């Protein structure tokens, strides 16, 4: 049963770093020997365009999957989501958990309030960061653990359907599993591994994105748009300017990632906990503030395109977060009264 | 000489020696003649915690401008570009730190100094002025630490 197997995809690093290649090869060699796994290799995930065989292969995978890549798990997960390869976020156990700092009196980080992903199928996608460890056994162990976790999840689900009253949808899904698996299209490995050109574009973490559209106002290169549901969308990925992370600095929720950027906070490091994320203290130590840096970066790209610099005049959010609350006026009271009616 | 002061960062007491001058980028300065020795204040070190990596982008003898980027630091809690506290000419970098930057954590006001700069130090703050600056910005700094870097005015 193909759906009972766990698909493991290793995404190679860019370039030919021998240390990285060696780690990739050791992991794949060990995983191929494991029962119940389908193991494949594709080039660097971020660079795959929609025509690339590696991308078509990823799209064809059904059921749970593990993706090992040279980037933060959050970046890899939302990158796949953008490519239509969706699932629930599988928590791995080998990325160092955010430390808890006892003497910080910051309390619990607020839960993310993003708009979330849509059309998420009933499967889990686990992303492992190959930069976390340099010994292949750690990854092999973790894949084994994930395989067991997925098996257990399926069994629990199955039991609950057998014992309870399955809904028609659940039943349908269960029955469909009994059908013979559709033959997988063939993906010749030389096409699968064809080295793609380098790309550069933002990846949105929809668990954090609140659809505030500040990035859409800020970017003057037409990268952002909205989908049919009026959700923010990275519409024209390849309009993005290589190396420019400006919109990421403008985002109030740290929802915009550039997986290849040097600063971890922008490349998709875990957010929300002070210790999990290395904070950038540059501003404190004399650097400009995030919005000013973003405007400078944007100006550089505008000028390179033969357009005029706009500085802080266009698309800079006028935030009112720190504005002290004013006494409520009659309109506010009316709005509150409407809220109370809970219509 | 002014007394030492202590600024409370939550529960952590950041000691600010009275005999030093201070720059707004959280460096202290010991001025002697036309030359100043600079290092991180205990306030800055507390924010960064264990220093893993220190790198300078300018050389001894280079002339640097106020707030010009001169280096980069990575610690257990933070990354940051480093900027010149004043305009001047770099006389020396602390070579020990380039071998082992954790000297900053061991003795930030002594052997963990960063660099010597030929400069005019009139614009530097007294310990009282620096303490006041910390107090005025503590709220904002805490917000920054909690990851809301971009939501500030």
**A289 touching chain B per CB within 8 A:** yes
| A250: chain B residues, CB-CB within 8 Å | 150
Instruction: Please indicate whether residue A294 or residue A54 has the higher confidence score (pLDDT).
Output: A54
Residue-level pLDDT at A186: 78
User: Is pLDDT larger for residue A324 or for residue A252?
Assistant: A252
In a domain, B28, yes or no: yes
Domain ranges, ordered by start, for chain A: 2-192, 211-252+281-343
Residue B144, domain member (yes or no): no
In a domain, B15, yes or no: yes
Q: What is the mean pLDDT of residues A39-48?
A: 96
Tens of pLDDT, residue by residue over A155-196, are 998 888 777 766 655 555 555 554 455 566 778 888 888 889
Cβ contact B147–A275 (<8 Å): no
Test A282 with B81 for CB contact under 8 angstroms: yes
Name the percent of chain A lying above pLDDT 90.
Answer: 52
| Axis-axis angle for helices A136-163, A168-178 (nearest 10) | 120
Evaluate whether A298 touches A319 at the Cβ level (below 8 Å).
no
Q: Is residue B121 part of a domain?
A: yes
| Cβ-nearest to B79 among A104, A252, A280 | A280
Residues 6+ apart with CB under 8 A from A301: A221, A241, A244, A246
Question: What pLDDT, on a 0 to 100 scale, did the predictor assign at position A178?
Answer: 47
- Averaged pLDDT score across all residues of chain A: 83
Strands A124-129, A65-69: pairing is: parallel
pLDDT at A276: 43
A118 close to B (CB below 8 A): no
Tokens of A154: 């399926």
* Contact residues, chain A, for B74 at CB < 8 Å: 278
Task: Mean pLDDT check: name the lowest of A49-58, A145-154, A276-285.
Answer: A276-285
Report which of residues A274 and A249 the model is more confident about.
A249
Q: How many angstroms separate the CA of residue A260 from the nearest CA in chain B?
A: 17
A280 and chain B in contact, CB less than 8 A: yes
Task: Give a yes or no: residue B88 inside a domain.
Answer: yes
With tokens 């549901």, the residue in question is A229
Pairwise CA distance, residues A124 & A152, whole Å: 13
The CATH number linked to B41 is: 2.40.50.100
Confidence (pTM): 0.66
Q: Do B78 and A254 make contact, defined as CB atoms within 8 angstroms? A: no
Residues of B with CB under 8 A from a CB of A: 10-12, 24-26, 44, 47-48, 67, 69, 74-75, 77-85, 141-142, 144-153
Residue A166: per-residue pLDDT? 60
Closest to B150 (Cα-Cα) out of A253, A204, A211, A270: A253
Q: Any idea which of A56-65, A101-110, A249-258, B23-32 has the lowest mean pLDDT? A: A101-110
Q: Which of B40, B87, B141, B146 to mutate to test the interface with A (most CBs of A within 10 A)?
A: B146
Q: How far is B21 from chain A (nearest CA, A)?
A: 16
Q: Give the mean pLDDT of A76-83.
A: 96
B127-153 pLDDT per residue, tens: 999 999 999 999 888 877 665 444 433
Kindly list the distances between the CA atom of residue B117 and the CA atoms of A267, A283, B17, B31, B34, in Å, as whole numbers in the listed order. Answer: 35, 22, 20, 10, 9
By the CB < 8 Å criterion, does A103 face chain B? yes
Q: Are A114 and A209 in contact (CB under 8 A)?
A: yes
Distance CA B123, CA A76 (A): 48
- Is residue B118 domain-resident? yes
CA distance B144 to A274: 10
pLDDT score of A184: 66
Number of folded domains in chain B?
A: 1
The reported pLDDT for the residue numbered B129 is 95
The b/e string for A305-341 (b: 16+ C-beta within 10 A; e otherwise) is eeeeeeeeeebbbeeeeeeeeeeeeeeeeeeeeeeee
Nearest residue of A to residue B67 by CA position?
Answer: A286
Q: How many CB atoms lie within 10 A of CB A114?
A: 16
Retrieve residue A331's tokens: 């309109």
Is the residue at B153 inside a domain? no
Domain encompassing residue B70 = 5-137
Q: What tens digit of pLDDT does each residue of A293-342 get?
A: 888 889 989 999 999 999 888 888 766 545 555 566 665 666 566 555 54
Contact between A319 and B153 using a beta-carbon 8 Å cutoff: yes
Q: What is the pLDDT of residue B15?
A: 96
Q: Tell me, yes or no, whether B150 lies in a domain.
A: no
Q: Which residues of chain B have pLDDT under 70?
A: 145-153
A313 vs A211, higher pLDDT:
A211
């Amino acid at each position: 049963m193909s759906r009972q197997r766990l698909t493991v995809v290793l995404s190679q690093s860019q370039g030919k770093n021998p240390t990285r290649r060696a780690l990739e090869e050791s992991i794949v060699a060990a995983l191929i020997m494991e029962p119940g796994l389908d193991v494949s290799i594709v080039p660097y995930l971020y660079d795959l365009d929609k025509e690339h065989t590696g991308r078509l292969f990823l799209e064809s995978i059904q059921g749970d999957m593990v993706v090992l890549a040279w980037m933060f798990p959050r970046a890899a997960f939302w990158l796949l989501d953008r490519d239509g390869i969706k699932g629930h976020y599988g928590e791995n156990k080998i990325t160092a958990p955010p430390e808890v700092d006892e003497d910080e009196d910051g309390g619990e980080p607020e839960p993310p309030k993003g708009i979330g992903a849509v059309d998420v199928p009933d499967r889990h996608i686990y992303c492992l960061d190959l930069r976390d460890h340099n010994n292949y056994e750690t990854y092999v162990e973790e894949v084994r653990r994930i395989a067991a976790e997925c098996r257990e999840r399926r069994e629990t689900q199955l039991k609950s359907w057998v014992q309870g009253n399955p809904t028609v949808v659940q039943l349908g899904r269960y029955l469909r599993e009994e059908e013979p698996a559709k033959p997988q299209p063939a993906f010749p490995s030389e096409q699968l591994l064809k080295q793609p050109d380098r790309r550069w574009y933002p990846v949105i973490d929809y668990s954090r994105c609140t659809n505030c559209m500040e990035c859409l106002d800020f970017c003057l290169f037409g990268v952002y748009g909205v989908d049919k549901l009026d959700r923010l969308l990275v519409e024209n990925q390849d309009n993005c300017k290589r190396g420019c992370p400006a919109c990421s600095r403008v985002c109030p929720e740290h929802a915009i990632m550039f997986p290849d950027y040097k600063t971890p906070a922008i490349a998709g490091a875990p957010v929300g906990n002070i210790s999990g994320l290395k904070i950038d203290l540059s501003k404190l130590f004399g650097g400009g503030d995030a919005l000013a840096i973003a405007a400078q970066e944007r100006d550089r790209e505008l000028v390179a395109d033969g357009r005029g610099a706009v500085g802080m005049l266009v698309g800079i959010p006028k935030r009112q977060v720190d504005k002290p609350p004013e006494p409520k006026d009659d309109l506010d009271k009316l709005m509150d009264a409407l809220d109370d009616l809970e219509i | 000489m002014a007394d030492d002061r202590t600024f409370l960062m939550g529960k952590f007491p950041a000691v600010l020696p009275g005999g030093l001058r201070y720059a707004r980028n959280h460096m202290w300065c010991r001025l002697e003649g036309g030359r100043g020795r600079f290092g991180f204040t205990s306030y800055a070190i507390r924010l960064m915690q264990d220093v893993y990596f220190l790198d300078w982008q300018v050389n001894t003898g280079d002339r640097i401008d106020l707030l010009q980027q001169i280096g980069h630091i990575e610690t257990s809690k933070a990354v940051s570009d480093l900027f010149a506290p004043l305009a001047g000419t770099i006389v020396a970098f602390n070579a020990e730190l380039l071998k082992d930057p954790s000297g900053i954590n061991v003795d930030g006001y002594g052997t963990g100094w960063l660099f010597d700069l030929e400069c005019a130090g009139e614009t530097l703050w007294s310990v009282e002025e620096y303490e006041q600056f910390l107090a005025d910005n503590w709220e904002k700094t805490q917000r920054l630490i909690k990851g809301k870097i971009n939501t500030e005015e």
